[in-house]
Amino acid sequence: MGFWFRCLAWATGLGAMTLLALYVFAIDLWRVPTDDPQLTASILPTLAAGDVVATMRHFPFGRGNLVRCPDPQAVGRYVLARAIGEEGDALAIEGETVMIDGHRNSSIRPCDTERRTVTDPSSGEDVDLECTSEEFGESRFEALHARSGTESPTRTKVEKGKWFLVSDNRHIHLDSRDFGQVDPGACQHVFLRLFGEKGVFDLATRLTVLW
């Protein structure tokens, strides 16, 4: 009994020390703000205001990863979007569909819930959006698009040492179309949602891998 108790105590202590070391040296915890309607709309359907997420410091990210970067337009705040276009890419967004070097994503499929209603913070009106499941790089995620009333096309060449970010909500966005290309050295990979605004007992939002 004493032997197994000591083993359990040792394993628990080692696990706690490992988690502490990761928190100190590699991982940040961050709660998505609840006072920024534009950010809240832009991160749908992947995240929501009040979600607590884990980000990785000092680790490179790849195409399709969700990243948190300092907001170029508001000191002390952050933006949250997908790293889609990297250095040298010819990126275009037409009809709210992203193309890299003239190629559309070939793996677009409908989501389990194909339609979502989102409130546009600029007008206060509800907008019906279509949801698709997409892949970029090794990341698979859901994105929202408008069926009509899309923006004028965006076409750009990603600059040296920069990334072009694209919101999962392609229609009500807060991404490089709004604030320009970003320095990846200032960004962190958002890889896990620990729990949502309702807390750790909400199974639907607890421990969600975000890529």
Distance of CA 33 to the CA centre of its chain: 14
Q: Specify whether 46 is located in the same domain as 4.
A: no
- Of residues 34 and 204, more confidently modeled: 34
Position 76 pLDDT exceeds 80: yes
Q: According to the model, what pLDDT value does residue 16 have?
A: 39
Q: Specify whether 2 is located in the same domain as 98.
A: no
Distance of CA 172 to the CA centre of its chain: 14
Expressed as residue numbers, the domain containing 14 is 1-28
Q: Specify whether 45 is located in the same domain as 138.
A: yes
How many C-beta neighbours within 10 Å does residue 85 have? 28
CATH code of the domain containing 196: 2.10.109.10
Query: What's the structural domain count of the chain?
Result: 2
Confidence grade of residue 168 (pLDDT, cut at 50, 70, 90): very high
Q: Specify whether 10 is located in the same domain as 69.
A: no
Q: Specify whether 12 is located in the same domain as 56.
A: no
Position 11 pLDDT exceeds 80: no
Q: Specify whether 22 is located in the same domain as 53.
A: no
Q: Distance between CA atoms of 100 and 93, rounded to whole angstroms?
A: 9
At 50, the amino acid letter reads G
How many C-beta neighbours within 10 Å does residue 82 have? 28
Q: According to the model, what pLDDT value does residue 202 have?
A: 86
Confidence grade of residue 203 (pLDDT, cut at 50, 70, 90): confident
How many C-beta neighbours within 10 Å does residue 35 have? 8
Q: Specify whether 96 is located in the same domain as 188.
A: yes
**Mean pLDDT of all residues belonging to the chain:** 86
Q: Distance between CA atoms of 13 and 7, rounded to whole angstroms?
A: 10
Q: Specify whether 77 is located in the same domain as 136.
A: yes
Q: Distance between CA atoms of 160 and 169, rounded to whole angstroms?
A: 26
**Does 110 sit behind a cis peptide bond, omega within 30 degrees of 0 on the bond before it?**
no
Q: Specify whether 144 is located in the same domain as 40.
A: yes
- Of residues 108 and 130, more confidently modeled: 130
Position 180 pLDDT exceeds 70: yes
